[in-house]
Structure 1
């Protein structure tokens, strides 16, 4: 399956928080978004241009210092609608490392009573619970007596995946409980 251009939605979400320059968007990836998505300025600036052509963002120029002119981008009504539609759409779960669309969407949910939140967390919880069960079955099947001297590395990787999924499902349960309070 081809990966959707998630970068456009992240930029829209960041601009929904506040108008920003391209440089400030790049800084947001370095500080806030970098835990679950990365982008370089060479990706951000062309995406801003595409979003502006699609009338999802607009800009005004501001002078900094004596001569430096920079563009400050803001979300348009069309951009806000696009962002809201993306936040409401189903999200494919991420297995293992990599870019995590689910985490990006969570980042842009502002209120604990957002009606999308419980559904998002529940779907992710079901997926990760199923993944955990599968991994545990694989451990039982492949290593019924525990760690093996023959495939020790395989055992360690499988153990790591089980621990990761356990932690993730526990975190999702806690997040769901926090939303329901």
Structure 2
């Protein structure tokens, strides 16, 4: 997945300003794709330059005007092309796994602290995803079922990682 396609997908759901797009990222897809504000604005500029998105300036009453981005027909065609293409191989970049790989430099207590910190982070993420899943309730549409599937995937990965952490901690005992 590329950031370009994530942005196109979110703009396909609703026209958004750059600020609102960041909020949408954080509230919808952040459990599997993240982007900072600068990346989002650079991507929006590239999408407009490529005519995959267009800008509408909305004048504010006594406030600064807002630039709202809309996906264009060319943008929808690119989104459809990407959705129908074969999945790209997953690029594995995991800073924590790099730490585990190099952790033999630490003593056992250092490794345990590192694992405990990761457990806390995973439990927090898992709690957030579980709460989001419960807020969604019973999905009533195909759209809701597919979007909820991404939350369930995040929950499954979190649970699997907690089990893996249990195994490592037992091996260190």
What TM-score, normalized to structure 2?
A: 0.53
Task: Please list, as runs of the form range in 1=range in 2, the aligned pairs for 1:1-181 lying within 5 A after superposition.
Answer: 6-94=2-90, 111=142, 152-153=171-172
- 3-state DSSP of counterpart to 1:74: strand
Return the offset for 1:59.
1.0
CA distance in 2, matches of 1:42, 1:65: 27
Q: Distance in 1 between matches of 2:64 and 2:37?
A: 18
Deviation track 1:80-114 (CA, whole Å, cap 9, x = no partner) reads 0000000111113548776xxxxxxxxxxx847xx
Structure 1 length normalisation: TM-score?
0.50
Q: Which residue of 2 aligns with 1:160?
A: none
> 2:117 maps to what in 1?
none
Query: What number of residue pairs does the alignment pair up?
Result: 105
Structure number having the greater helix percentage = 2
- Alignment partners' CA distance in 1, 2:93 and 2:61: 42
Alpha-carbon distance between aligned partners in 2 of 1:56 and 1:26, rounded to the nearest angstrom:
18
CA gap 1:91/1:68 in 2 versus in 1, 3 angstroms = same
Residues 96-139 of structure 1: CA distance to partner in whole angstroms, max 9, x if unpaired?
776xxxxxxxxxxx847xxxx9xxxxxxxxxxxxxxxxxxxxxx
SS in 2 for 1:73: strand
Residues 14-69 of structure 1: CA deviation (Å, up to 9, x unaligned): 01111111111100111111111110111001110110010000011012341311
Cα separation, 2, equivalents of 1:15 and 1:36: 18
Deviation at 1:77, TM superposition (A): 0.7
Gaps of 5+ in 1: 99-109, 118-146, 157-181
Local SS of the residue matching 1:24? helix
